[in-house]
Structure 1
Amino acid sequence: MIGRGGQYDLTLSQQLLFLKASPAISGVGQVRANKLTWQEPIQPTALARSYLATITLQPGQTPGVQIDDPDLELLAAGRPFPHVYRDPLRLCLYLPGAREWDARKRIDQTIIPWTYLWLYYFEDWLWSDDWKGEGQHPGEEPEPVGNRAMRRAVARC
């Protein structure tokens, strides 16, 4: 499928090949029934715990990232934590609609590094109770821009 700017969307098989060929990626995956599934062990820093992330992608959808082990909710000890979607629990890695990810972009160069970064901030949040990763949480509205000219300029972005 041709995406914006006349570039072609990457197929699930192309995404899988990029993931397998990346020297920085150590996971395993497959394409079955028109769905890419990739499992990646992630340790955001040398002193952090290890996580097992599962990334899924189907044509026409955005990638979903779930942490299979350890259980993030158990680690949070009942505290509501930021930057996740619920039912099922998935990581919020980028702002939908802001064109940070589309099907022309490689998962190994976007979603996997963003997952490392999310887990880095999660580890810090567990200790400090302060999310330092910035970003806009799902359901939040952006802060209103000060003047009319500035609001118009931001709306055009």
Structure 2
Amino acid sequence: MNLRANPLSSGDGVLRAGAFVWRFDTSPSPLSRIYRVRIEMAQERSPRTFIETPDLAELAGGRDLPHVYHNPTRLCLYLPGTSEWQPWMRIDQTIVPWSALWLWYFEDWLASGEWKGGGVHPSGHDRELGRPPRLRFRDQTGVHA
């Protein structure tokens, strides 16, 4: 209900036992392209956010995409294990605006080559040792993009 009522996330979805998929179109600014976003949520799991169109890798022109998880490519919107997102939080008030904010920084990165969205990104060495990611920088809002 909240997703449907929120003008930022009005779209369509499919609800199944213990899971749902929500799709909506968004544009991070009036001058931006329109992106088709898919949010998948399953019981006992955090929401997963994907950009269906346009193809982010194609837009990046061969550059490695910043702040995404791979295989398949999904957006890194918050740092897991830090309580930035909790199951009681409303998707339309968290994941939806965080997705638009991520896209804002993505478009800036396309033009500048620099990710200005802040956030945490684990180094390869941290992953090999099983260490938690080290904080590199964060934006003024405290949102990890």
TM-score (norm. length: structure 1): 0.77
Q: Please give the per-residue CA displacement for 1:125-150, whole angstroms capped at 9, x wherever unaligned.
A: 00000000010024563259xxxxxx
Summarize deviations over 1:71-100 as a string: whole Å, max 9, x none.
000000110021100011100000101101
Identity of aligned residues (%): 48
8 Å CA contact 2:69–2:76 kept in 1: the answer is yes
**Pairs aligned (count):** 128
Aligned ranges 1:126-145 → 2 under 5 Å? 126-139=110-123, 141-143=133-135
Greater share of strand: 2
Matched with 1:150 is none
Corresponding residue for 1:66? 50
The residue aligned with 1:81 is: 65
What do you get for the CA RMSD once the two structures are aligned? Answer: 1.6
Distance across 1 between alignment mates of 2:93 and 2:22: 14
| Number of the residue aligned with 1:18 | 2
Tell me how far apart the structure 2 counterparts of residues 78 and 108 of structure 1 sit (CA, whole Å). Answer: 32
What's the offset of the Cα at 1:21? 2.3
Question: Is 1:85–1:138's contact at 8 Å kept on the other side of the alignment?
Answer: no
Aligned to 1:149: none
AA aligned opposite 1:129: G
- Give distance in 2, aligned partners of 1:24 and 1:81: 24
Offset of residue 34 of structure 1: 2.5
How far apart are the structure 1 equivalents of 2:23 and 2:135?
36
Partner secondary structure for residue 120 of structure 1: helix
- Structure 1: runs of 5 or more not aligned: 1-16, 145-157
Give the number of the structure whose residues are more often helix, by fraction. Answer: 1
The normalised TM-score by structure 2 is 0.83
Stretches of structure 2 that go unaligned for 5 or more consecutive residues are: 127-132, 137-145
